[in-house]
Amino acid sequence: MIWLWLCYALLCVLDAAGGQRIVGGQETSIRQVPYLVYLRQGGKFICGGSLLSPSCVLSAAHCVYGAEAKDYTVHAGASRLEAAAPVVRNVAQFHIAPSYDPGNFDMDVAILQLSSRIHLSAGQVTTIAPCRTAPGSNAYVRISGWGVRNEESREPAAQVRTTLVRVVPQRECQQAYAGQAQISDSMLCAAVRGIRDSCSGDSGGPLVYRGEVCGIVSWGFGCARAAYPGVYTNVASNRVRNFVDQTLRKLRS
């Protein structure tokens, strides 16, 4: 997944930086996931995100790393990519975790500061809180996005999709990637291995547990491969949570 999930967000780091789609999920409406937004770069769909406040979006650092905020827009309240989103905002500034490592995706987290506040609407555009306690091993969590439905695909989903995946115990995740990639304390793994997973285009989107965003789609080897669970930024980990809290406080002051 590392290289293919890089494809995930930037429509493939190896293949041009791509999107991801939920594998093994089903179509849904934005009313079921009203905190979910998507990002466009130069008008092209690139990643997902979560609305933390009317002016802040949580996403993956690799979705914006090396790019310019002026080229990005955030789209909220839309179920379908080709439909005009009812809410569109320019991005004023990226706040990327200072310790983000693009080589191994440690601290793959960013907050996008919007140029103007989004007006919330019940059931269609709402915020979601970052979680303080990570979901336990084997807990089922929700992932949603417009990513591709299998790793051979290059086209994002037309309609937002969602599914439930299982949090993989940290030791099991580390063993899956042993000798190939490092699973740090800023990461957690989740999938129904070989069946359900996030994929290219889902990058930056939320992993939700008990009504809070507990993970950010980050990377992995392939999509829904039995040997390799998807890897997510662990929002409740101390380093990630400190960055999120400090950034939100700074933006509120």
**136: alpha, beta or left? (left if phi > 0; alpha if psi -120 to 50):** beta
Query: Do 17 and 10 contact (CB within 8 A), yes or no?
Result: yes
> What phi, psi does 110 have (nearest 5°)?
-145, 150
* From 108, 153, 202, 218, the catalytic residue: 108
Q: What angle do CA 3, 132, 55 make, to 5 degrees?
A: 75
| Options 50, 53, 59, 62, the catalytic residue | 62
Q: Can 106 be counted among the known catalytic residues?
A: no
* Cα–Cα distance for residue pair 22/144, rounded to 1 Å: 7
Please report where in the chains the tokens 């991801």 appear, as a residue: 20
**Per-residue DSSP letter, 7:** H
| Residue 65: Cβ-neighbour burial (10 angstroms; 0-12, 13-18, 19+) | middle
Angle at 6 between CA 59 and CA 139, to 5 degrees: 60
- Give me the torsion for CA of 218, 209, 144, 3, rounded to 10°: 20
CA-to-CA distance for 112 and 215, rounded, in angstroms? 16
Please tell me which residue in 184, 203, 218, 237 is annotated as part of the active site: 203
d(CA 31, CA 62): 27
Whether 137 is catalytic is no
For residue 15, indicate whether it is catalytic.
Answer: no
* 115 alpha-carbon distance from chain centroid: 21
The set of catalytic residues is 62, 108, 203
